[in-house]
Amino acid sequence: MSTVTTRLRENEIRPDHLRAGQAEALRRDVKRLQATRDAFVACSCPACEQDRPRPRFHKHGFDWTECGSCGTCYMNPRPTETILADYYAGSELYAYWAEHVFPASDAARREKIHAPRLDRIVAECDRLGIARGTLLEVGAGYGTFCSLAAQRGAFSRIIAIEPTVDHDGCRCGPRVQWIARRIEEVSDDELPPVDVACSFETIEHLLNPRAFVEDCGRRLRGGGLLVLTCPNVRGFEVEVLGAAAPAVQPEHINLFHPDSLRGLVERCGLDVIEVTTPGRLDAELVRKAVLAGDFDLSGQCFLRRVLRDEWERLGGPFQEFLAQNGLSSHMWLMARKP
């Protein structure tokens, strides 16, 4: 069961005073991606590979369909590999985050996001008898999680894979082996079998999530642990706000839910231990939309009471309820290699 252990406010990880700059950078990124729209390609479901799409979201000129078989939502049509690579390489939003948002929120992210993640992974390894030898993070960003793991001595060896940041740009220090390429480009000689592979908020960005999970699984030792996190399209924030939800954005081309992510990982030959939704921001994000006038609570007596009238008393317990009952829009999956 998921439990909200640390109170987190959005302003701590996405500072309010930087919000206008983020919005402007995203607007320019979207405009650049829209110019390539004619070259987008239709696709089948990235989770179950069935081709039974039905309309779900439309935003910024892009469409997300819902799989009629498993319920996964995915951008369809979507960019080609070349278009997506160019989009990330020239992203003004990513540059803005690197220059402004991450430095301003690094301490809070380390304490309230990365530390609980590490604690949970270490506890799970100890519970299951998984050796804390080699930890691999795929999509390591600027290395905060790996840096923390190295600082604490949680694993004997730590390897970070991040294709968009070179070694000079990472912040994890000499105790972390840094590989600035995609995982599929890394040979077995460079990356021997690992005990734990984790990937936070990455799989939703990928054109071929199944190949990604299979590759992560192939790098694990027998009995090794895979940890994935990503948005949950059936969580409160997305269900209430729809296309206006922050989780629905052009770079999130796959939006899984607990059952569909479980199905994908199991089809890749791994044994799923649990899927939980330990999110801590759903209620606050919807509340902000209400206060900004972007979401109308007319006729929603219960939500008006929780999100507006008695927020200080009910907001925290309501978020706890969402997290404990699989209803948060942030998802966490753990699986083992047989």
pLDDT in tens, 195-205: 999 999 999 99
Measure the CA–CA gap between 171 and 169, rounded to whole angstroms. 7
8 A C-beta contact, residue 337 and residue 222? yes
Q: What is the pLDDT of residue 175?
A: 87
Query: At a CB cut-off of 8 Å and minimum separation 6, what does 74 contact?
Result: 43, 45, 46, 64, 65, 67, 253, 254, 255
Measure the CA–CA gap between 159 and 175, rounded to whole angstroms. 9
Per-residue pLDDT of 108-130, as tens digits, reads: 999 999 999 999 999 999 999 99
Measure the CA–CA gap between 270 and 222, rounded to whole angstroms. 10
- What's the order of all strands across the beta sheet hosting 157-161? 176-179, 157-161, 134-138, 194-200, 220-231, 330-336, 271-276
Range of lowest pLDDT (4-13, 42-51, 186-195, 250-259): 4-13
The span from the first CA to the last CA of the chain, in angstroms, equals: 23
pLDDT of 6 > 90? The answer is no
Range of lowest pLDDT (100-104, 119-123, 129-133): 100-104
Measure the CA–CA gap between 68 and 44, rounded to whole angstroms. 11
**Distances from the Cα of 87 to the Cαs of 81, 94, 218, 250, 333, in angstroms?**
10, 10, 29, 10, 28
Measure the CA–CA gap between 291 and 295, rounded to whole angstroms. 8
8 A C-beta contact, residue 194 and residue 137? no
Mean pLDDT of the chain: 94
Query: At a CB cut-off of 8 Å and minimum separation 6, what does 146 contact?
Result: 135, 137, 140, 158, 160, 172, 176
* Mean pLDDT across 159-183: 81
As assigned by CATH, the class of the 10-336 domain is alpha beta
Measure the CA–CA gap between 338 and 273, rounded to whole angstroms. 12
**Distances from the Cα of 164 to the Cαs of 23, 198, 251, in angstroms?**
21, 17, 15
Q: How confident is the model at residue 174 (pLDDT cuts 50, 70, 90)?
A: confident
Burial degree of 31 (CB within 10 A; 0-12, 13-18, 19+): exposed
8 A C-beta contact, residue 241 and residue 286? yes
8 A C-beta contact, residue 137 and residue 199? yes
* Mean pLDDT across 245-254: 96
Measure the CA–CA gap between 89 and 24, rounded to whole angstroms. 18
The H or E element spanning position 150 is helix 144-152
Count the alpha carbons within 13 Å of 209 in the hemisphere toward its beta carbon.
Answer: 32
Question: What backbone torsions phi and psi does residue 250 show, to the nearest 5 degrees?
Answer: -55, -30
| Selection from 185, 205, 201 nearest residue 84 by Cα | 205
Q: How confident is the model at residue 164 (pLDDT cuts 50, 70, 90)?
A: confident
Measure the CA–CA gap between 223 and 212, rounded to whole angstroms. 19
* Mean pLDDT across 230-249: 97
Measure the CA–CA gap between 324 and 208, rounded to whole angstroms. 30
| Selection from 336, 233, 212 nearest residue 279 by Cα | 233
